[in-house]
């Protein structure tokens, strides 16, 4: 299974015993949409709903930190996702949150994980069947494994300021990156990590919401002055769209790490603000 699959491919695979489809839409409640309610109203047949808003470390004030391996495995098992599953993710979020689910699944040991190109929007535009209500799948064992190599901490990001060992790539909008637009989180400074580069995650998509591929995708990274042959760590506001950049890198055959605390951690820290010279 490719990392990015088409609606036509998925339609031909519906009903396969090892196929698991997941709606990984995450939305800000302030935007007036309810991801769970929208899933129950219409989803791809057989799809279960992954609640990314709950699938996080709830012992921290940071918004979207990785949960424990045990919590993640338990949630996946309850969704019927487990060993031997081919997992296809989609979303209807403006932040393309299927990429966050993709990154988390791979981080915790899932091997066969893909994203549906164009998501539910493309699926419905093509007149394909949808289902309503909730899907019930039997529990399936999920063998969890988690290493630390694909995740960066605040301390590691601070050390990288002097070492410069990794390029830091920020997925937020240009206005958020420059500080022209204030951060929406209370007591969080505007701006960006010193030395980082800006590639708004929206630049990785075509006008119809499908992913750029090949040279078009490569040019998006080149336009942000990213050297694809050097190590890269991605960041954003809360760790969600940073995963979108990682998926884009994956499509180009490259891997990177994700700063999970992202700007919600860096921008609220007194130490980092001091190090930035109050910039």
Active site residues: 236
DSSP assigned state of 87: E
CA–CA distances in Å: residue 32 to residues 28, 51, 94, 153: 8, 17, 13, 32
Helices 98-107 and 241-251, axial angle in degrees (round to 10): 70
Tell me which DSSP letter residue 110 carries.
Answer: -
φ and ψ of 223, to 5 deg = -65, -25
Helix residue ranges, H only, the chain: 7-13, 35-41, 69-78, 98-107, 119-125, 154-163, 174-178, 214-223, 241-251, 262-266, 270-275
Q: Distance between CA atoms of 265 and 55, rounded to whole angstroms?
A: 18
Nearest Cα to Cα of residue 82 among 25, 130, 17? 17
């Amino acid at each position: 299974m490719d990392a990015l699959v088409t609606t036509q491919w998925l339609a031909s695979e519906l009903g396969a015993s090892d196929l698991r489809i997941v709606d990984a839409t995450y939305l800000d409640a302030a935007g007036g949409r309810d991801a769970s309610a929208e899933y129950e109203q219409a989803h791809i047949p057989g799809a279960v709903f992954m609640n990314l808003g709950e699938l996080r470390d709830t012992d921290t004030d940071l918004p979207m930190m990785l949960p424990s391996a045990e919590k993640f495995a338990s949630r996946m098992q309850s969704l019927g996702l487990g060993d031997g599953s081919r997992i296809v993710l989609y979303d209807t979020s403006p932040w393309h949150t299927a990429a966050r689910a993709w990154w988390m699944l791979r981080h915790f040991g899932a091997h066969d994980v893909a994203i549906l190109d164009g998501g539910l929007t493309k699926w419905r535009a093509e007149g394909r069947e949808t289902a309503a209500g909730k899907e019930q799948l039997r529990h399936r064992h999920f063998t969890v494994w988690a290493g630390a190599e694909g995740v960066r901490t605040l301390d590691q990001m601070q050390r990288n300021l002097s070492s410069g060992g990794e390029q830091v790539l920020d997925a937020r909008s240009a206005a958020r990156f420059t500080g022209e637009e204030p951060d929406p989180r209370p007591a969080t400074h505007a701006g960006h990590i010193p030395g980082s580069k800006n590639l708004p995650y929206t630049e990785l998509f075509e006008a119809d919401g499908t992913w750029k591929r090949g040279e078009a995708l490569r040019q998006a990274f080149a336009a942000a002055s990213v050297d694809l042959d050097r190590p890269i760590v991605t960041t954003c506001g809360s760790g969600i769209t940073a995963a979108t950049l990682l998926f884009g890198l994956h499509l180009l055959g490259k891997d990177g790490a994700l700063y999970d605390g992202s700007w919600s951690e860096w921008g609220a820290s007194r130490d980092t603000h001091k190090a930035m010279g109050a910039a």
